[in-house]
Amino acid sequence: MRIVLAWLVHTYTAAGAVVAVFGLEAIVTADYRAAFLWMLGATVIDATDGVLARLARVKERLPSIRGDRLDDIVDYLTYVFLPAYLMLRADLLPRGWGVAVVGAVLLASAFGFVSERAKTPDGFFTGFPSYWNIVAFYLYAAHPRPSVSAWLLLGLSAMVFVPIRYVYPSRTLALRSLTVSLTVAWALLVLFLIMELPGRHTTLLWLSLAYPVYYVVLSMVLTIRPARQYPA
């Protein structure tokens, strides 16, 4: 029974790939609200499968299965490929060279995922952690000029290789309780904004940016100063 539970946890992680297929189908049919909901569902799976894996002790009971590798494969599909394709199909990028921009996103994140420094032992991401689903949502909701979106994506692609330590919300010890609480509140607000698409609530959209700003500032500060100076 314990082995069965371990397999179920791995299956739960792998289900993110199935979610990606539904998200892709939504993009093809131009149902972008549904696509973002599928991406959010994939994020929920990614945020909870680690806890389940530890409870089920999957490393001990299924040592032949690399859960971290499975997680990376699914994350690349849901955090990188799916939002990149959405940004291309939703006309968020310039015609003619939008494909090249998406190619830069895909290649940069591919190298980011296979880097030995992608995740640090003390609970940080190294380099921009490929939150392209979040980027895609804000670009779709705000809809800036395609050239602005393109240069933003190119800049973030370059940031994948810059060794800034980004907070891993569930693992970075410094201010973890605050970060997790803000993450949940922000996710609920984003869920509301997604449900209202294609309508746009400009004030709430700008308000929701407070969390990404907090996340980036905290990451920069913790890159410069030792994390032990901050409470959990």
pTM of the model: 0.93
Domain boundaries, the chain: 2-229
Query: Mean pLDDT over residues 173-200, rounded?
Result: 95
Confidence band of 226 (pLDDT split at 50, 70, 90): low
Contact 24, 76 (CB under 8 A): no
Confidence check: pLDDT of 173 > 80: yes
Query: Mean pLDDT over residues 188-215, rounded?
Result: 95
C-alpha atoms less than 13 angstroms from C-alpha of 175 in its C-beta half-sphere: 18
Span 95-153, pLDDT tens digits: 989 999 999 999 999 999 999 989 998 889 999 999 999 999 999 999 999 999 999 99
Span 17-65, pLDDT tens digits: 999 999 999 999 999 999 999 999 999 999 999 889 988 888 888 888 8
Signed CA dihedral, 160, 190, 99, 154: sign only: negative
Please report the pLDDT score of residue 228 as a whole number: 59
Confidence check: pLDDT of 16 > 70: yes
Contact 149, 98 (CB under 8 A): no
Please report the pLDDT score of residue 69 as a whole number: 92
Contacts of 74 (CB under 8 A, 6+ apart): 13, 14, 16, 17, 20, 42, 45, 46
Segments in 29-81 forming alpha helices (H): 32-56, 58-61, 67-75
What is the spatial distance between Cα 151 and Cα 130, in angstroms, rounded to a whole number? Answer: 16
Angle, helices 67-75/32-56, rounded to nearest 10 degrees: 170
Confidence check: pLDDT of 6 > 80: yes
Confidence check: pLDDT of 231 > 80: no
What is the spatial distance between Cα 209 and Cα 196, in angstroms, rounded to a whole number? Answer: 17
